[in-house]
Amino acid sequence: MLVKHAFSVPGLLALLAASVAASLTACGSDGSSADANASGAAGTANSSGGNGSAGLPHSQGGAGLSGPSGEAGSLGEAGSLGEAGSLGEAGSLGEAGSLGEAGSLGQGGVPNTSTAGPLPESTFLYVYSETANRDLLVARDLKTNQERLVTDLRDDGSEGWEIWGHSISPDRRRIAIASLFAPTKADVDTKLSTRNVFTLASDGSDFQRLTPVSPNTGGARTNFSISVQDPVFSADGSAVIYDFGNWWYEGTKLQGGSQPWFVSTAGSFPKPFPTISSCTVLDPSINPATGDVLLHSVCVNSDDEGIFLYPSTGGSAPTKLVDKGYGPGAVDPLLEKASWLADGSGFVFVGNLELKRGTETSTAASLLAFDMTSGDIGVLLIPEPNTGIRNATLAPDGSAIVYCLSHDNGYDLHVIDLTSEPAEDAAITDDGKSCSPGF
């Protein structure tokens, strides 16, 4: 169903340049429009406010960790830690140790033994969850509305695996994923189900594993797991940065933390990417124009929570762009990676907003835009009641936004056409199993 919306700006670039704040009304799974009162929350969001803890991300948008024996599972709904409680002493990777000196996101090139051509700029990837533990990576072209299977992760003789994050290289010839695909005997001998980072050609061939076996350093810890997820390419395509975490329980309290690591696509050993050491830092996205790295921080010290921008070499003094807050005018960023404009002038991200619908006050996982010049946060889309935006991606030319909408029947993809006047929001899928889009 195609629905017109009161979005008067023809493109996101114009939105950011003019600091316009508008509200789109999402189509629900039944094609109905949102509560008109939702538009009252649209405007320029105040990024200040009180902070709090957040949950751990899953590539499909939920809070995810492997279970005690590494079986894939979820710890709660949409970033919640469920019964686990707080993050505890987040950021302590402890026994994992340092694998080397941290440095820049890379020199060297992307190895490519495949003859597959680059993905068109109008093509995005998304994850189709065939079952709870088996994902398909699909490529869809917005111009032609044609799609094809990139990989079902069965080339190793298995029935398939989950995908916990994916990205496309700057030259659009390679894809990075995090998955349990093709475990070796050494992987199995750790008695943990730890994902690895792979790259593959745009046609799904030429799998290359970038990460080594992760030693089991859990000792006697309860439900110890190692998380590897959300890989993204550096701005020059010579390296992949990803989340690496150690997690366990002490009673009902989740302990541990996650920090970004990076590995050369040429095959060097992974190294930690320097960040604020007192925080769990995750969900990297790369400014394509500068190579700077955008990361979410979840901290025991609430003053350090939010979305931060690091230089391409990392560091301990990043620039805070979005503060984590609650209440009217504040933004609570969800733990999902942001998506940049090609010129680096801004990005879109997902965050909870407090709003009134009639006489009721509630929160809505909404689509937001950050303007790098003004520092303003614009509200792009507030979903209808009982739905939420899980994650989103911006077309390289700023012509469209594809987002994943959570609803009672699962997850589905929508596209906002920013070239029309007014902008148009249309459903792409209705299967309840499609999410995590990425250009």
Per-residue three-class SS string for 106-142 = CCCCCCCCCCCCCCCCCEEEEEEEEECCEEEEEEEEC
pLDDT at res. 6: 31
- 3-state DSSP helix/strand/coil % of the chain, to nearest 5: 5, 40, 50
Q: CB of 332 within 8 A of CB of 324?
A: yes
SS3 71: coil
Residue 397 pLDDT: 86
Task: Give me the domain span that covers residue 380.
Answer: 1-50+331-439
Backbone angles phi, psi at 94, to 5 degrees: 35, -110
User: How far apart are alpha carbons 60 and 236 in whole angstroms?
Assistant: 27
Please tell me whether residues 310 and 373 are part of one structural domain.
no
Domain end marker among 292, 324, 356: 324
Q: Is the dihedral of CA 372, 396, 241, 126 positive or negative?
A: positive
Q: How many residues does the chain have?
A: 439
Identify whether residues 293 and 365 lie together within a single domain. no
**In this predicted structure, what is the pLDDT of residue 329?**
87
pTM for the full model? 0.80
Strand 24-25 to 377-382 pairing: parallel
At 304, give phi and psi (nearest 5°): -100, 5
- Domain contains 143: no
Identify the DSSP state of 433: B
Domain count, the chain: 2
Provide the 10 A C-beta neighbour count for residue 52: 13
Q: Which helix (H) or strand (E) holds 437?
A: strand 434-438
Could you tell me which residues are beta bridge partners of residue 333? 351
> Is residue 344 located within the same domain as residue 214?
no
Distance CA 413, CA 171 (A): 25
CATH number at residue 378: 2.40.128
Tell me, yes or no, whether 129 lies in a domain. no
Is residue 402 within 8 Å of residue 421, measured between CB atoms? Answer: no
Domain for residue 212, yes or no? yes
**Count of Cβ atoms closer than 10 Å to residue 117 Cβ:** 11
Domain assignment present for 138: no
Statement to judge: residues 317 and 173 lie in one domain: yes
Shared domain for 184 and 260, answered yes or no, is yes
Q: What is the pLDDT along the chain (439 residues), one digit of tens a residue?
A: 222 233 333 344 454 433 333 333 333 333 333 333 333 333 444 443 333 333 333 433 333 333 333 333 332 333 332 333 333 333 334 433 333 333 444 333 445 567 889 999 999 999 999 999 999 999 999 999 999 999 999 999 999 999 999 999 999 999 999 999 999 999 999 999 999 999 999 999 999 999 999 999 999 999 999 999 999 999 999 999 999 999 999 999 999 999 999 999 998 899 999 998 888 999 999 999 999 999 999 987 656 899 999 999 999 999 999 999 988 889 999 999 999 999 999 999 999 999 888 788 889 999 999 999 999 999 999 999 999 999 999 998 889 999 999 999 999 999 999 988 888 899 999 999 999 999 9
**Is residue 105 domain-shared with residue 223, that is, in the same domain?**
yes
In a domain, 135, yes or no: no
Q: What are phi and psi of 422, to 5 degrees?
A: -75, 170
H/E run at residue 55:
none
Final residue belonging to a domain, choices 324, 351, 367: 324
Tell me, yes or no, whether 250 and 384 share the same domain: no
Residue 34 carries which DSSP code? P
Within 10 A of 71 (CB to CB), how many other CB atoms are there?
9
Q: Is 136 within the bounds of a domain?
A: no
CATH code at 73? 2.120.10
- Look at residue 128 and tell me if it is in a domain: no
Last residue of a domain, one of 269, 293, 324: 324
